[in-house]
Amino acid sequence: MATLRDIKRRIKAVQSTSKITKAMKMVAASKFRKAQQRMFEMRPYAEKMAAVLSSLSTGADSEIHPLLAIRKIKNVDVLVVTSDRGLCGAFNSNILKAAGVHIARLKKEEFEVSVSSVGRKAKDYYKRRSVQQRKAWSGISGKISFANAQEIAGQVIENYTNETVDEVLLVYNEFKSAATQKVVISRLLPLAPMEQSQESLPVSSFLYEPSEQEIFTSLLPKNVEIQIFRALLESQASEEAARMAAMENATKAANDMIESLTLQYNKARQASITKELMDIVGGVEALKG
């Protein structure tokens, strides 16, 4: 049975842990607000750019730019975006699990699959499982810049244009709310043409200035950079939201444990005092006899 000193030591240890998790929650909340603002500012621009280029590419000649080329899919590269740090609940495990299921399905369909990773968690995860990674980026969580997206996009575009891969998929956590993040698997390359509807403009209604080729040459690589940058910002906001929730749960669990240990301490102390009193009473009775 634990002694009073042991219980008191445990209470102090849990109190220290509670202070740490509470501080980490406050830090995560501060980072979350900044990440959320950047993500909200970026999201409509990325969505509109993707929609416009998808619409333009519908009637474009696939030979006008290498990124419009649609080949028979043999090699698929899966770009998995995770965080560099842990202590954020199931944020990373959900991403890696979803990516694993999709990769297994692609292999079952007899595609050659390679993995590229963003974030130390994905890098270490695939390294432990002896999965060959085409490229791995880490050390950018919390300090994401457009230059990071440009570097990643440059590698992705190079692999696609030299026909090393025929399709590039992007796996990341899309921010829904402070309590909810959704794993998204989207096709980054080749660019998917927009499905025609009654409301969409006919391809012939577009006028290109200065020229169709110059526009696609300028905007298609930029679109890849923008979509990757958006995914990084979505992932960053989701990570801080998940960490904030995880630290709040950890703080609550620590406080519950402190209450339980305090009750246990008080009961043990009361039993000790009662035992001492009984010993004194017993001694007095023995002297009287």
DSSP 202-267: PGGG---SS-HHHHHHHHHHHHHHHHHHHHHHHHHHHHHHHHHHHHHHHHHHHHHHHHHHHHHHHH
Q: What is d(CA 82, CA 120) in angstroms, rounded to the nearest whole number?
A: 7
pLDDT of residue 197: 43
Question: Which whole-number Å values give the CA distances from 225 to 36, 39, 77, 150, 165, in the listed order?
Answer: 19, 15, 16, 5, 18
pLDDT of residue 199: 44
Neighbours of 252 (CB within 10 A): 12
Q: What is d(CA 174, CA 181) in angstroms, rounded to the nearest whole number?
A: 6
pLDDT of residue 19: 92
Write the single-letter amino acid at 282.
Answer: G
Among positive and negative, which fits the CA dihedral 247, 129, 102, 57?
A: positive
In three state form, how does the secondary structure of 77-105 look? EEEEECCCCCCCCCHHHHHHHHHHHHHHH
pLDDT of residue 105: 94
Closest CA to 243 of 22, 16, 15: 22
> What's the Rg (C-alpha) of the chain?
29
pLDDT of residue 282: 74
Q: What is d(CA 153, CA 67) in angstroms, rounded to the nearest whole number?
A: 12
Write the single-letter amino acid at 251.
Answer: T
What residues contact residue 48 under an 8 Å CB cut-off, 6+ apart? none
pLDDT tens per residue across span 107-166: 999 999 999 999 999 999 999 988 888 999 999 888 899 999 999 999 999 999 998 999
Pick the catalytic residue from 35, 39, 81, 88: 88
pLDDT of residue 289: 59
**Could you write out the DSSP letters of every residue in 170-193?**
EEEEEEEETTEEEEEEEEEESPPP
Token pair in block for residue 61: 């000649």
Instruction: Write out the chain's pLDDT in tens, 289 residues.
Output: 568 888 889 999 999 999 999 999 999 999 999 999 999 999 999 999 988 888 887 777 777 888 888 888 999 999 999 999 988 989 999 999 999 999 999 999 999 999 999 999 999 999 998 888 899 999 988 889 999 999 999 999 999 999 899 999 999 999 998 888 999 999 998 886 655 443 444 555 677 778 888 888 888 999 999 999 999 999 999 999 999 999 999 999 999 999 998 898 888 888 878 877 777 777 767 777 5
What are the two backbone dihedrals, phi and then psi, of residue 163, each rounded to the nearest 5 degrees? Answer: 65, 25
Q: What is d(CA 281, CA 278) in angstroms, rounded to the nearest whole number?
A: 5
pLDDT of residue 288: 73
47 is catalytic: no
Please report the domains of the chain, with CATH numbers, ordered by start residue.
31-194+204-246 (3.40.1380.10)
Question: pTM of this prediction?
Answer: 0.85
pLDDT of residue 154: 94
**Could you write out the DSSP letters of every residue in 193-219?**
PPPP-SSSPPGGG---SS-HHHHHHHH
Token pair in block for residue 181: 């993040």
pLDDT of residue 157: 94
